[in-house]
Amino acid sequence: ETKQTTLQITGMTCAACANRIEKGLGKLEGVASANVNFALEKASITYDPAIIGAQNLEETIKKLGYDTAKDV
Ligand code: 9UX
C-alpha cells in the first residue's frame, strides 16, 4: 500500500537542485517515486508508509540543504 504526498520546497536555486532532491529521495528504501518540480517548488513523492515515515522524507530534503513543509 503506497501513499502519495506533496511537499513544498524552498531554497532551490538552480534546476539541478530538483535533480539532487529526486536522487536523494529516490534512493531511500520505501520511496517508490519522487518527482520535483523546480518552477512550482513542489515535490511529489510516492512511498510506502510501512517502510518510511513522512518525517524522514522531510529530514532528507533538509539534510540536502533545502527547506520543506507539507503542501496545503
Ligand atoms: Mo545548482 Mo542546487 O549548481 O543544490 S544544484 S544550486
* pTM value surpassing 0.90: yes
Cα(1) to centroid(ligand 1), Å: 33
pLDDT, tens digit, 9 for 90 and up, residues 36-59: 999 999 999 999 999 999 999 999
Give the domain ranges of the chain.
3-70
Best of 9, 10, 17 for a ligand 1 pocket test (most atoms within 8 Å of beta carbon): 17
Which atom of ligand 1 has the smallest separation from the CA of 19? 5
Q: Of all helices (H) and strands (E), which one includes residue 47?
A: strand 42-47
Q: CATH number for 3-70: choose from 3.30.420.10, 3.30.70.100, 3.10.20.30, 3.40.50.300.
A: 3.30.70.100
Interface predicted TM-score of the whole assembly (ipTM), two decimals: 0.94
pLDDT band at 71 (very low <50, low <70, confident <90, very high): confident
Closest-CA residue, ligand 1 atom 2, reads 17
Residue 15 Cβ < 6 Å to ligand 1: no
